[in-house]
A and B are shown apart, each in its own frame.
Chain A
Amino acid sequence: MKEAPLLSPSPERAENSGLSLSHMSFLGNGPYSVNVKPGECIGLTGTSGIGKTQLLRAIADVIVHGGNCSLDGEPCSSFSPPVWRKMVAMIPAESFWWHDTVGAHFEDTSQRPEFLNLIEKLGFSSDIVGWQISRLSTGERQRLSLIRTLIQRPRVLLLDEPTSALDIKMVMIVEEILAAICDSLQISCLWVSHDIEQLFRVAGKVYRVEKTGFTEESDA
């Protein structure tokens, strides 16, 4: 991999940093072009079935797509798929779990200090690792799935309705935590939601996803 210049980054470099989509298309939708700088959050909304989730899946490279998607100027195709998906991490609206206990999904990460930190901030106690997955509520799964991805230290977060199953108090907490983490770790974030007020709370810019591209929404 190329190394970032240590002194005075060229203007081109600065323009390229973060996640850029150029003319992304999939399943007859698009082209979508946008640049999400490190630490920036962009909100995406749109009618149901327009393809917001599919757009995130295309960025995570789990569906076939056209156009270009790059991180700090390096195209998706130059990384092996697992490496790309760890850096550009999508958290789907419905999370899936394949082991019996919570702990088994965090085998190599549950000892890290940030795990305990996140667990506590998101309202769990440290005995969570012993819990049965089958007894978790939808909201608990949603919060744990957030932790599961954050602990892998992604560079980009693709959030698909990340607070849909949470009560209003928890929604606020999650918004705050995500904002703090994205800011301190300079994570680029795409946040999909139907709740336009939420998007204006968490994101600098909000786009409406249409079949043929993005249109910018203004704060009413």
Chain B
Amino acid sequence: MNVISLSSFDLSLAAFLLLLLAATSLRIGLGLEKRIIISGIRMTVQLLLIGMVLKVLFTSENFFLVGFMSLCMLLVAGYEVRARQKRKLRGSTGYLISTGSMLVSSFTVTFLALTVMVGVDPWYTPQYAIPMLGMLLGNTMNGVSLASDRLTTEMYNQRGMVEQRLLLGQSWQEASGEIRRDCMRTGMIPIINSMAAAGVVSLPGMMTGQILGGSSPLDAVKYQILIMFLIAAGTGFGVMTAIWLISRRLFDERQRLVLDCLTNIK
């Protein structure tokens, strides 16, 4: 079975719905019309570009091109994590930590899946490697940014409490234990929830795409299950790594809470 190709006219009809939404937003003074239109345009351009890039990538099957593409995705994800934080770590440290924790979790998990579970040959075959890495990075990025944003904010807001615990002779691990665990939970809850709701409340996007693309539902489901496991593991370990690295930075070698490594909120 072949996919029914969408014409530009079909897409314009759908875009018209978005314009309608923007007009309504203007009419009732919601103030979102500009952002609706800009994000709509951004999404269209980004996806068209990536479509062309993927087309080239899929025909070439070059290891270095796939590697370069993965690196770009990682760097953008690292930038996004930093941009979504209210209080960031000063300098390049914050960027290195978020990028590093995503590199460790998403890349290893994707590599494991490609070589062991999917067993595609060569393992970097872009049709498999890029979409899987993309899904892993996207989800890990969400988890890591939620968790690290919460960590720096909580440490700042609860500095009195953390310092009180240090003054009572607790180690930095004890003094920040509850906060760190809360932040890890914050980062992992979305993926745990979506595992619980998968198939009952929501039909995951990847599976839907495969079915629309003509795969048998059972094959699609199996891939979805695999991806869900990978995403949950990748997000979980990514979040833990990020929280550990950031909290190490927030205490110095004499276990003092040092908050001047965080940027101020304007």
Contact = CB atoms under 8 A, between A and B. Distances in A.
Contacts of B178: 98
Interface string B134-170: 0000000000000000000000000011011111111
Contacts, number: 52
B160 A62 contact: no
Contact of B255 (A81, A95, A148, A149): A81
Nearest to B171: A82
Nearest to A64: B256
Contact of B168 (A61, A64, A148): A148
Given A86-B169, A89-B169, A90-B167, A96 B256 contact: no
Interface string A94-130: 1111100000000000000000000000000000000
Interface residues of A, number: 22
Nearest to A83: B169
B212 to A, nearest CB: 51
A96 B254 contact: no
A86 B174 CA distance: 14
B257 interface: yes
The DSSP consensus for interface residues of chain A is loop
Nearest to A84: B169
A92 B164 contact: yes
Given A61-B254, A82-B255, A98 B171 contact: no
A90 B254 CA distance: 16
Contacts of B165: 96, 98
Contacts of B169: 82-83, 85-86, 89, 152
A63 B256 contact: yes
Contacts of A149: 168
Interface of A: 60-64, 81-83, 85-86, 89-92, 94-98, 148-149, 152
22 contacts: A61-B254, A62-B167, A62-B256, A81-B255, A82-B166, A82-B169, A82-B170, A82-B171, A82-B255, A83-B169, A85-B166, A85-B167, A85-B168, A86-B169, A89-B167, A90-B167, A91-B167, A92-B163, A92-B167, A94-B160, A98-B165, A98-B178
